[in-house]
A and B are shown apart, each in its own frame.
Chain A
């Protein structure tokens, strides 16, 4: 179980007009670590650079703040850097929280669901950003 207060934040911004099942179009990832070596900010290839032991929080947001679209993070996949006890889990408030417990580089998968209107068919989106733990 991840411990600690999140200090690294990874935001997934969604253009609801552009998303499609099986595509990463309309998804943009940013973090608050560009001064610490993160790369590819603003893209689905975000590579986050953190120090070992850091607690990370992920959230998904709609670029259109007036939209009624329903967005939710549904899973963050396995990666070596989560170690034995840092696997990201739902925080009960719409985000996920995890902790890096092993140094190294890995990619991991984020899965989210989107409904363009409440009650409409869910679109499943997956992105595979990277993370480097030092």
Chain B
């Protein structure tokens, strides 16, 4: 009696967002603030300034995208060899409905050597302006790592 098994490889298509947001984090600065509110050390940039985005390079980035756009969110530590990590732990929406329920960001397979959680993609399903919250986890130190959580509220407009 023989048996045959077939290995089926399923290759997940890599989504290609129309808009990308980078969140660059000065991990040592975040750690130095010991969990207090911060107004620096987290820098957001997108690739939609020609489409009307504003506050580039600041925490309160205001991203403007066409309705339907996939939006990638990627976190990176500015000191890449520190061993510190930055990942996104979640999104909430406090005002507006651009993501809707269908477009709420989801964690994606990590890019390159990034840790799981560093890359998420959402979709701007509905026209309008939205205030949303991103929460990131900044982990510093490798022997006895400490994680600091930071959240803030940037904007997305879909039109």
Which B residues are in CB contact (< 8 Å) with A61?
Answer: 22, 76
Give Cα A15–Cα B64 distance, bound, in whole angstroms.
14
Number of B residues, CB within 8 Å of A? 36
Report yes or no: B26 in contact with A35, Cβ–Cβ below 8 A: yes
Report yes or no: B80 in contact with A9, Cβ–Cβ below 8 A: yes
Report yes or no: A18 in contact with B57, Cβ–Cβ below 8 A: no
CB of A13 within 8 Å of the partner chain: yes
Give Cα A43–Cα B79 distance, bound, in whole angstroms.
18
Q: Are A17 and B79 also in contact (CB < 8 A) when A30-B24, A66-B20 are?
A: no
- Judged by DSSP, the binding face of A is loop
Report yes or no: B119 in contact with A65, Cβ–Cβ below 8 A: yes
* Closest Cβ–Cβ distance, residue B40 to chain A (whole Å): 5
Report yes or no: B17 in contact with A34, Cβ–Cβ below 8 A: no
Interface residues in B14-56 (C-beta closer than 8 Å to A): 14-17, 20-22, 24, 26-29, 32, 40-41, 43, 45-51, 56
Number of A residues, CB within 8 Å of B? 27
Give Cα A98–Cα B58 distance, bound, in whole angstroms.
27
Report yes or no: A42 in contact with B22, Cβ–Cβ below 8 A: no
Report yes or no: B45 in contact with A15, Cβ–Cβ below 8 A: yes
Report yes or no: A11 in contact with B17, Cβ–Cβ below 8 A: no
Which A residues are in CB contact (< 8 Å) with B16?
Answer: 66
Report yes or no: B72 in contact with A64, Cβ–Cβ below 8 A: yes
Give Cα A83–Cα B49 distance, bound, in whole angstroms.
38
CB of B93 within 8 Å of the partner chain: no
Give Cα A15–Cα B57 distance, bound, in whole angstroms.
12
Give Cα A6–Cα B78 distance, bound, in whole angstroms.
12
